[in-house]
């Protein structure tokens, strides 16, 4: 890597941190392991991100951007959106672990991440517009619909191992259930 290639350094650190945070959470992650995995001096983590929490925020911001690109919201077809979220979770289960770590370790102690707030607000606004156009139910607020869709799309990741024993094992069946549930939920 050429000296001074800050973008490449940041990219490698974020990729290594993605793995580290997914495996160990925020509290259990170690910046020395991130640096070793990235093949970069540990001091550069502090230079680029300030601290471990800043590094986690950079990882989470990248996850948000990648999820928005992989599963953009179409408020006129929310069942398909839920299916694409399910697909993204199947393709990248470590992202769902990172989201869980975020929820468990940062929910009450840190200010909300601006990237997440902005992404969610744009989704809520799009759902509200679809509601106003009569395309989506008004039984629930737009924010409630978004929360329900996110939960349904990722429901298989929060089930206990025992509950998984009686649940469908086939990913295609699971996806079909997600899509059907959201279709029922949002029908005007």
Residue 184 lies in a domain: yes
Cα–Cα dist 18/25, whole Å: 10
* pLDDT at res. 144: 98
Co-location of 54 and 88 in the same domain:
no
What is the tens place of the pLDDT at every residue in 25-84? 999 999 999 999 999 999 999 999 999 999 999 999 999 999 988 899 999 999 999 999
Residue 64 counted as domain residue: no
State the CATH number of the domain containing residue 3: 1.10.10.60
**Cα–Cα nearest to 180, from 153, 154, 157:** 153
- At 128 the pLDDT is 98
Domain identity same for 168 and 95: yes
Q: Are 93 and 3 part of one and the same domain?
A: no
Q: Is the pLDDT of residue 141 over 90?
A: yes
- CB of 62 closer than 8 Å to CB of 18: yes
- Residues 101, 50, single domain; the answer is no
Same domain, 149 and 124: yes
How far apart, in whole angstroms, are the C-alpha atoms of residue 27 and residue 110?
A: 13
Runs of H (alpha helix) within 50-77: 52-70
pLDDT score for 109: 66
What pLDDT is recorded for position 168? 87
- The structural domain count of the chain equals 2
Q: What is the pLDDT of residue 30?
A: 96
Six-digit token string for 29: 């992650």
Task: Output the pLDDT for position 3.
Answer: 52
* Domain, as residue range, for 36: 1-59
Residue 2: pLDDT band (50, 70, 90) is low
**Does some domain include residue 133?**
yes
Average pLDDT over residues 174-183: 97
Q: pLDDT tens digit string along 86-133?
A: 999 999 999 988 988 888 888 776 678 888 899 999 999 999 999 999
User: Can you tell me the distance from the alpha carbon of 45 to that of 55, in angstroms, rounded to the nearest whole number?
Assistant: 7
Indicate if 139 and 187 belong to the same structural domain: yes
Answer yes or no: do 47 and 132 share one domain. no
Using 50, 70 and 90 to split pLDDT, how confident is the model at 184? very high
Helix, strand, or coil (residue 11): helix
**Residue 101 covered by a domain:** yes
- Is residue 65 situated within a structural domain? no
What is this structure's pTM?
0.86
């Amino acid at each position: 890597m050429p000296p001074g290639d800050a973008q490449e350094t940041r990219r490698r650190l974020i990729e290594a941190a993605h793995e580290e945070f997914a495996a160990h959470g925020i509290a259990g992650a170690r910046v020395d392991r991130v640096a070793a995995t990235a093949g970069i001096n540990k001091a550069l983590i502090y230079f680029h991100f300030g601290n471990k929490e800043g590094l986690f925020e950079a990882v989470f911001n990248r996850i948000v951007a990648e999820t928005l690109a992989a599963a953009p919201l179409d408020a006129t077809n929310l069942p398909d959106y839920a299916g694409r979220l399910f697909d993204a979770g199947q393709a990248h289960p470590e992202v769902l672990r990172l989201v869980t770590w975020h929820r468990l370790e940062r929910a009450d102690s840190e200010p909300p991440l601006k990237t997440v707030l902005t992404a969610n607000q744009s989704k809520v606004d799009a759902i509200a517009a679809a509601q106003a156009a009569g395309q989506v139910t008004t039984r629930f607020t737009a924010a409630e619909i978004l929360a329900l869709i996110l939960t349904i799309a990722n429901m298989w990741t929060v089930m206990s191992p025992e509950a998984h024993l009686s649940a469908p094992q086939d990913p295609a069946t699971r996806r079909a259930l997600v899509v059907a549930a959201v279709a029922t939920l949002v029908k005007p």
